[in-house]
Structure 1
C-alpha cells in the first residue's frame, strides 16, 4: 500500500447496495447472508460468536488478527453502514443517499501528513432535559444534584450511566492498565463531548497498538461483567459502547489526531 492511499472498510449488518460500487471494502457482521464479495469475519481467528455484544468490533478484531499488514505505510480506516467519512470540502453540502458516493472520502487529504490519526468530529452529550435526567439518571443526581443545573456535570460518565447501565463504566475502568486508568477517569468526568461510532483512520502500526490495548481490556471486562445480564438497546452491545468512549480517549492521548467530518445516512 502506498503512503498516499486509503483503504476503507465499511462494517454492516445488512446489505448496502449504494456502497457496493465504491472502492470501499464492505464487511458483513451479524446473522444476515451477504453477497460473496462482502468480507466476513467468521473464519480463522475470530470472535464472531460474540458479535451481538461487540457489534462492528467483531470485524475489527478479525481484521487485526488476520488481515492487518504492519509493514504498510498507507492509511486504513473504518466506517459503518449508516455513518460515513466525507470530504472536508463537502461539509456544507446537502448529502443524501442519492449523491453520497460523490462526497465519500476516498483519498487522504492534503494536511494528513501532519497527523497520525483521524477521528470523527465530536458529539455533545450535555444539555439533557431535566425530566430525562430524573428518569434515567436519578442515582447520579442523588450523588451530585448539580447535574440538574450545570451542564458541566452532564459529562460522559453521566451519559453512559444513564444509557448503558449504571456503574458499568466504573467497573470497566477499574480493569484498565495503570497507565490509562486515572487519565480515563478524568476524561469521562470532565468532558461532555466524545468522538463517536468507533470510526478512525490511521496507519496499520498504530491500529495494531489500538486493537491490542482495546481487546485485552474488553476481555477483562467480559470476565467481570459477562454477558448474561446484557439485553436491549441499552446494554446488549455494552462492549461496543465501552470501546466507543475509550477510542476518543486513546487516540487523543497516544496520537497526533485530527477531527474530521462524517455524515449519518438513513438506508
Structure 2
C-alpha cells in the first residue's frame, strides 16, 4: 500500500504539527528549529526566498530529497493552508485540535485513478468595480467590456491588476513553444484556477514538473530580475507565476482531481 509523504512549508514554527508525521520544511530567516527540514544547505536557492516563497523548499526537495524510485504519494502544503481529510465545505478552522483532526494523513481511495491532486479551484472574476477601475485601468481602456462581463475578467486580467500589468505576457513569451500558445489561452479565457502552489503526486511526475517550472523561472529572472520586485504586487512574482502555471500544466498533462483545503492561522 502506498503512503503519503506530506511536506508543510513554513517560515514560522508550527508547534501544533510537531507531533504528527508531517515533514515540516523551513524557509524562514531565523534559525531552523530542531527536526524541521532546513532548505538552506546542499543545493538550494535560499537566497531567493523572499521572491520565490514556498518554491524555495520545493527546489531544495527536488534537488536533494526526491526519490524517483518511490511509489508513494508526495504532497506539499503551507503554514496556513492544509489539505482536508474529507470532502467538506469547511474553508476555515479556528483551533489547533480541529486542524489535527481535519488534515489528511494518508492517501484517499478516491485518488486511485488520478495522477495529480490539486486544490479546489478559486474564482477570480468577482472583483469590486472600484478596484477594477483603480488597479485594472490599463486593461479596461484596452478592452472596456471586461468591466461589465464577468466571463472576461480572466486570470490574465486578475494578474495584470495585482502583479504588474503585462508581466504575465512577458513571462509566457519565455515558455517553450509547446506551452506558450496553450498557457496564454488558459489565462486569457479562464476565470478560475487551482491555487496556492499545493499539489500531491508521484515522484516521476513531480520531477517532470519541477524540471519544467524552474527552467522557465530561470528564464524569467533574465527579464524581471530581483531589484525592482517589491511589495505585495511583485516581490513574490516568481511564486505568483508558478501558481498560475501549475494549474494549467497539471490539468493539461495529467489526470487531475481537485481536492478540498482549509485555512488556519495559529496567530489569530
- Pairwise TM-score range, normalised by the shorter structure: over 0.9
Give, in whole Å, the separation in 1 of the partners of 2:83 and 2:256. Answer: 15
Cα RMSD, aligned residues only: 1.2
Give, in whole Å, the separation in 1 of the partners of 2:116 and 2:106. Answer: 14
Q: Which segments of 5 or more consecutive residues in structure 1 lack a partner in the other structure? A: none
2:11 counterpart of 1:13: yes
Give, in whole Å, the separation in 2 of the partners of 1:162 and 1:92. Answer: 29
Give, in whole Å, the separation in 2 of the partners of 1:256 and 1:200. Answer: 13
Deviations 1:150-183 (A, max 9, x none): 0011110011000011111011000001000000
Match of 1:56 among 38, 54, 57: 54
Question: Cα offset for 1:45?
Answer: 0.7
Give, in whole Å, the separation in 2 of the partners of 1:196 and 1:89. Answer: 17
Q: Which segments of 5 or more consecutive residues in structure 2 lack a partner in the other structure? A: none
- Equivalence map 1:76-115=2 (5 Å): 76-92=74-90, 95-98=93-96, 99-115=98-114
Q: Residue 119 of structure 1 contacts residue 258 of structure 1 at CA under 8 Å; is this kept in 2?
A: yes
Question: Cα offset for 1:188?
Answer: 0.2
Deviations 1:196-237 (A, max 9, x none): 000000000000000000000000000111111100011000
Match of 1:37 among 15, 22, 35: 35
- Equivalence map 1:76-225=2 (5 Å): 76-92=74-90, 95-98=93-96, 99-225=98-224
Give, in whole Å, the separation in 2 of the partners of 1:93 and 1:131. Answer: 27
Give, in whole Å, the separation in 2 of the partners of 1:201 and 1:96. Answer: 25
The equivalent of 1:230 in structure 2 is 229
Q: Residue 92 of structure 2 contacts residue 263 of structure 2 at CA under 8 Å; is this kept in 1?
A: no
- Return the TM-score normalized by structure 1: 0.97
Q: How many residues align?
A: 265
Q: Residue 125 of structure 1 contacts residue 193 of structure 1 at CA under 8 Å; is this kept in 2?
A: yes
Deviations 1:10-36 (A, max 9, x none): 000111111111110001103122311
Q: Residue 30 of structure 1 contacts residue 52 of structure 1 at CA under 8 Å; is this kept in 2?
A: no
Q: Residue 140 of structure 2 contacts residue 146 of structure 2 at CA under 8 Å; is this kept in 1?
A: yes
